[in-house]
Structure 1
């Protein structure tokens, strides 16, 4: 069998347009690997960047990044040996107390994460956990809103990377805690939907320590000429499995020692 080659620039643009159209029309498309079987991880990151650049040109700004596939179980399911990442843009920022329309997404889900808010720009290549702790001004309770523009969440690694790591939005709770004032590996969190607990987890579900995920991200994006800058929000990965969000659902995530964050969906 001949060696697989990356897609041409023209085909990458075609894939990016298909994903952008799916997001705009809220009509999920077939898995990318079925329509474009030659697509690999390199292609997928380039396709993600094409759509990010399009949105930046339309006026959005970069607010941070997210890490996906940060648990061993998810990596094994995707047959990969490292996480992936996506961008957080200003048009993805949600505000607590402002309901979100579930109909604005294809198949929304929520994940509970310990958010890092950088006070200093992180080094890229060679970034360590000590660098992350030094540069992080605050940690905060957060919910990431994820969505797949791929039908029925039938995704593999190339599908999700190209689709901005399945990210669609994020919301931060009001509390802020210095990283030196909390054990970032042992934060217990519970997610309630309409008053009923539907998930729970601990922060060490994220690569054993969410700080490890942020350091990995800084090193990874450096290879694309990107830096994690002061003021950026970094979502290091979920502490539990993703939970489906439906019209009318009211979510509340409670973190021991870190506070709460709420996200409400309308019809």
Structure 2
């Protein structure tokens, strides 16, 4: 893809989010589209959002589970940017029509109290820069069709990355924990939709340790001369599959002693 094509794709995604009308698969429109192209589109999309007055509050890491990587035939996670308008209070109700096809995941959030950067960052440095960890929900959405209506072809990882890694919202639970006093591999959740258990999982499902995802993110950003800032939130990756969130649904994630977090969607 050319720089102009990156910008055009980003503008189309930005308009799709505002209108609630999905665009076609970028991977079909640009068959040679690679990961660098996808992140270039995402970067152009971030510029659109900043120009519209949105403020960056952190990052999300996705595709951290072996199952999701196998499904998309990749061997690496992906990342997207969190903005201030994505933050919902614990127990909040998402307004009708806010998202197109929302889904919910349960994750562990890292809240930084110090900057973090460098291609050789270690797990210990990640933990040292983390002021606390918290239970969280991520809202996923897609501004790109999940499947091409003509060919049936499914979205590829390049589509997802370009679409800000399907990032749409974040809910933080009230509880805060010292990351070095908690075995995050065993911090898990029971995710219920409308009172029915839909998914369960453990932090170990995220690259064997949620902190490993943050290490990956910092090292990836270092390739572009970037890093994480104090005060930013990092969603370290889901350890459950995404659960569809139709209008009128309610989600409750029970992380045991680690905490709880909930969210509901207004009726349609």
TM-score, shorter chain, exceeding 0.5: yes
User: Which residue pairs with 1:29 in the alignment?
Assistant: 23
Aligned to 2:94: 100
- Aligned length in residues: 261
Q: How does 1:113-124 map to 2 (within 5 A)?
A: 113-124=107-118
Q: Deviations over 1:119-149 (max 9, x none)?
A: 1111221111011111111000100000111
Counterpart contact for 2:91–2:261, Cα < 8 Å: no
State the SS of the aligned residue for 1:180: coil
Q: Which residue pairs with 1:4 in the alignment?
A: none
Question: Shift in Å at residue 38 of structure 1?
Answer: 2.4
SS at match of 1:179: coil
CA 1:143–1:31 in 2, change beyond 3 Å: closer, same or farther?
A: same
TM-score by length of 2: 0.94
SS at match of 1:116: strand
Asked if the contact 2:88–2:171 (Cα under 8 Å) also holds between the matched residues in 1, the reply is yes
Q: TM-score, normalised by structure 1?
A: 0.95
Residue equivalent to 1:89: 83
What CA distance in whole angstroms lies between the structure 2 residues aligned with 1:228 and 1:37? 33
After superposition, residues 157-236 of structure 1 pair within 5 angstroms as 157-236=157-236
Aligned mate of 2:2, from 1, 8, 25: 8
Residue 127 of structure 2 aligns to a residue whose secondary structure is: helix
Between 107-116 and 70-79, report the one with greater CA deviation: 70-79
Conserved 8 A contact 2:110-2:134: yes
Structure 2: gaps spanning 5 or more residues: 148-153
CA displacement at 1:32 relative to structure 2: 0.9
Is the Cα–Cα contact under 8 Å of residues 92 and 262 in structure 2 kept in the other structure?
no
Structure 1: segments with no counterpart, 5+ residues: 1-6
**Does the Cα contact within 8 Å between 1:214 and 1:236 map onto a contact in 2?**
yes
| Partner residue in 2 for 1:139 | 133
Residue equivalent to 1:45 = 39
Indicate the SS of the match to 1:29. Answer: coil
- Deviation by residue 1:224-266 (Cα, 9 ceiling, x = unmatched): 2221111110011101100000111111111122100111110
Aligned residue for 2:238, secondary structure, equals: coil
The Cα shift of 1:57 comes to 1.8
Of 88, 96, 105 in structure 2, the residue corresponding to residue 111 of structure 1 is: 105
Q: How far apart are the structure 2 equivalents of 1:171 and 1:221?
A: 24
Structure 2 residue 237 is the aligned partner of structure 1 residue 243: no
Instruction: Name the structure 1 match of 2:150.
Output: none
In 2, the alpha carbon distance for the partners of 1:20 and 1:48 equals 10
Q: CA deviation at 1:22?
A: 1.4
- Which portions of structure 1, spanning 4 or more consecutive aligned residues, are displaced by more than 4 angstroms? none
Say which SS state the counterpart of residue 152 (structure 1) adopts: coil
